[in-house]
Amino acid sequence: MTEQYEGITNPALDSLLEKVDSKYALVLFAAQRARQINAYYSQLHEGLFEYVGPLVDTKLNEKPLSIALREINDDQLEYKHASEVQQPAEEEELDDFSAFEISDDEDPFALPADEDEVIHSESEDNEDNK
């Protein structure tokens, strides 16, 4: 019996399409993960661990895209829309700064309340410089 190669035919494309919305999303998802795996291998000798390595058992000289497709097929990765990922982060950021308020008296960048103060303070500065 012939050995079946890993890659785009194994896992089957139909089973991969069940995991994402469209074939274009699958391409982007797998390509992004393949870049992460490739970066992991290139940083391995430097001792940097910014990226997560393969989540499935790999073979010698197996391509990062094949590894990424197998991870998707084995439900090791979860596909989410960008709007789902970014929305909670924006809400969390707003929550962090909601209690942080500066009154106009304390704010060094606040404009004066009326223009007379600006003109008056500028004339005082000019008199002090003379």
Residue 28 lies in a domain: yes
Residue 42 lies in a domain: yes
Which CATH number does the domain housing residue 56 bear? 3.90.940
Residue 110 lies in a domain: no
Question: What digits encode the pLDDT tens for the residues 78-114?
Answer: 887 777 766 655 666 666 656 666 665 666 666 666 6
Residue 7 lies in a domain: no
Question: What digits encode the pLDDT tens for the residues 20-34?
Answer: 888 999 999 999 999
Residue 54 lies in a domain: yes
pTM (two decimals): 0.57
> How many folded domains does the chain comprise?
1
Residue 102 lies in a domain: no
Residue 44 lies in a domain: yes
Domain span at residue 63 reads 13-86
Residue 62 lies in a domain: yes
pLDDT of residue 47: 79
Name the nearest CA neighbour of 9 among 71, 69, 78, 79. 69
